[in-house]
Structures are given as structure tokens and as C-alpha cells.
């Protein structure tokens, strides 16, 4: 079975997008792993499936590269909105349902082609039980966690998905893979967690590297950029808006008076093609 697909990226955080508006596809974790594999498949940080929604314009079904289901993806929803605008509904404002709720997106398309998307990510979640993080007290802000070689200060936030933000003096000295994987799988995170290592450059600029749950190190992460900015604000390190520098480029994150977080940045289509879904491994096989 051949399926049309689009590959898009936001700051190097890349996604494969397909349609399932008639609800006929049965996408298994093994299929997702096969499609997202960078050697045997198309290659991507995640797969996005466009589905109908009863409460919004569309539903974003997001799968991590390892086949696991994700509640939300900031760069993913921006890429998804561009895809929807250019292929289905040319509206500058859309409501997109996710497992983290309905998100409003605004698109900038000066020549009919979207070059930037702004997302209302909603309010950050700081309550431990709702992030979730298993710890005493109501919130996990500026607390110590034990890494294999050192102690680190961390702040936990949910932007619809869990994040553990660790502030460092020099980002270049961080073992992102080693420490990131270790933190992701700590027992205090029952659903695992995304991890952001953050160096504060000024009160309006952050430098961030991300270890994504179910993916690994990525060039950018939208919800991670938001979590980094929120955590920095909670610790008195930034104001209401900040530029977040990631290996793939820059995102702008701001907080409004009603505590909503807004994510803005560029998004690009990479290429289109057809997937032969029947060729991917069946469930239980490895890629």
C-alpha cells in the first residue's frame, strides 16, 4: 500500500507527516520505527498522522521515532500546521487537537507558503503529580538530582509532556547522551522524561541542548524550548520573553499575562514522496 508523505523540519527537528482522515490506517510501533530509521527508512525524529477531530480542525497523532506515543510536540505541531495549511485548509489560524489538549496555531504565509508558525502552548504544568514526577511537595523547582558523576540542580515542568530542565555553567562540557539518558529513565519519572540542559546567556537569551524521550539528542525541541524558558523564569533567570538557541537554530518563547506560553519559529518542507507501508517490519520484529 502506497501512502503519500511529506517530510518537514523545524530547526532540524524533522518529521514525516501522513494523512489518515478516513481512519483506515493501522500504524504499529514497528512501522514507525522503520519509517523513522535514518538508514533503512525515510529518517525522522517522529511520525505525525493527520486525523479527523470532533473538537478541533484536525487531530495530531504523534509518534516518537521509537514508536512510542507522545502527548505533544512543539516543533511537530508547527510542521503539522504548515502541512495542513498548504494541503487541506488555507486558514491563517487553526485549532489542532493533541493528547495534551487543543492548541491554537497562527501561520505566516506571505506568498502563500508558510514560513513561520506561532503556537499557543497553553499554561505550563508545575504540579508534581501532573507532570508526573514522583517527589515530595507540590513542585520540583531548583532541586538536586544525583547524576553518575555529579550533583545537578533541576526544575521539572510539563508542556503537555514531561521535562526535566538542568541549568549548567558551560553547555559544551555536558554529556548530553550520557546524562540525558540517565535522567530520562530515573525512577522518579514514571512516564520517562525529556531533558533540557540550559546555559543562561542573558535575561533574554538561553542556550539549550535537548535529550528527547524516545528519540535521543535532537537539533531542536519546541516543548523543550518552552520548558527551558519557563524553568528559567521560575528561577528568576529570564523575563517574559526569551530567544532560545538550539543546535538547529533559534526559537522565540514568551509568556503572556494569563500565563500562556507561546512558541514561534520557522518551519520548512524538505520533500514529498510515497511510503510503501507494507514493507515495514510487523510488530515484534526489529529494524
Range of the domain at 46: 2-118+267-279
Q: What is the pLDDT of residues 24-51, one digit of tens each?
A: 999 999 999 999 999 989 999 999 999 9
Distance of CA 34 to the CA centre of its chain: 20
28 in the same domain as 66: yes
Determine which one of 36, 73, 156, 226 is catalytic: 73
80 in the same domain as 20: yes
Report angle CA 95, 220, 11 to the nearest 5 degrees: 80
65 in the same domain as 33: yes
Q: For residue 185, count other CB atoms closer than 10 A to its CB.
A: 11
- On whether residue 166 sits in a domain, the answer given is yes
155 in the same domain as 104: no
149 in the same domain as 234: yes
197 in the same domain as 161: yes
36 has catalytic annotation: no
206 in the same domain as 143: yes
213 in the same domain as 103: no
Q: For residue 236, count other CB atoms closer than 10 A to its CB.
A: 9
Does the pTM surpass 0.85? The reply is yes
Determine which one of 36, 164, 221, 226 is catalytic: 221
95 in the same domain as 28: yes
At what angle are helices 222-234 and 74-87 packed, to 10 degrees? 140
- On whether residue 74 sits in a domain, the answer given is yes
- On whether residue 64 sits in a domain, the answer given is yes
Split into its structural domains, the chain has a count of 2
* Grid cell at residue 81: 500546521
224 in the same domain as 177: yes
Q: Which CATH number is 235's domain given? A: 3.10.310.10
Q: What is the pLDDT of residues 100-156, one digit of tens each?
A: 999 999 999 988 889 899 999 999 999 999 999 999 999 999 999 999 989 999 999
73 has catalytic annotation: yes
- On whether residue 284 sits in a domain, the answer given is no
73 in the same domain as 144: no
Rounded Cα gap, residues 84 and 65, in angstroms: 21
Amino acid at each position: 500500500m502506497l501512502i503519500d508523505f511529506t517530510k518537514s523540519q523545524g530547526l532540524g527537528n524533522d518529521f514525516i507527516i501522513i494523512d489518515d482522515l478516513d481512519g483506515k490506517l493501522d500504524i504499529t510501533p514497528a512501522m514507525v520505527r522503520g519509517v523513522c530509521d535514518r538508514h533503512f527508512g525515510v529518517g525522522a525524529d517522529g511520525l505525525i498522522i493527520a486525523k479527523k477531530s470532533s473538537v478541533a480542525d484536525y487531530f495530531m497523532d504523534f509518534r516518537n521515532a521509537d514508536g512510542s506515543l507522545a502527548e505533544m510536540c512543539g516543533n511537530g505541531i508547527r510542521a503539522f500546521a504548515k502541512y495542513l495549511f498548504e494541503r487541506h485548509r488555507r486558514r491563517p489560524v487553526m485549532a489542532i487537537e493533541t493528547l495534551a489538549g487543543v492548541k491554537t496555531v497562527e501561520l505566516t504565509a506571505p506568498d502563500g507558503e508558510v514560513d513561520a508558525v506561532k503556537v499557543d502552548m497553553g499554561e505550563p504544568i508545575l504540579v508534581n503529580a501532573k507532570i508526573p514526577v514522583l517527589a515530595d511537595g507540590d513542585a520540583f523547582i531548583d532541586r538536586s538530582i544525583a547524576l553518575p558523576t555529579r550533583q545537578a540542580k533541576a526544575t521539572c515542568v510539563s508542556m503537555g509532556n514531561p521535562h526535566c530542565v538542568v541549568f549548567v555553567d558551560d553547555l559544551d562540557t555536558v554529556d548530553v547522551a550520557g546524562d540525558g539518558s540517565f535522567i530520562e529513565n530515573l525512577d522518579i519519572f514514571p512516564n520517562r522524561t525529556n531533558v533540557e540542559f540550559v546555559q543562561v546567556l542573558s535575561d533574554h537569551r538561553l542556550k539549550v541542548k535537548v535529550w528527547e524521550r524516545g528519540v535521543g539528542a535532537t537539533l531542536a525541541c519546541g516543548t523543550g524550548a518552552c520548558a527551558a524558558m519557563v524553568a528559567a523564569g521560575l528561577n528568576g533567570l529570564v523575563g517574559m520573553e526569551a530567544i532560545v538557541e538550539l543546535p538547529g537554530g533559534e526559537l522565540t518563547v514568551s509568556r503572556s499575562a494569563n500565563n500562556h506560553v507561546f512558541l514561534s519559529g520557522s518551519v520548512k518542507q524538505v520533500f514529498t514522496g510515497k511510503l510503501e507501508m507494507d514493507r515495514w517490519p510487523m510488530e515484534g520484529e526489529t529494524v
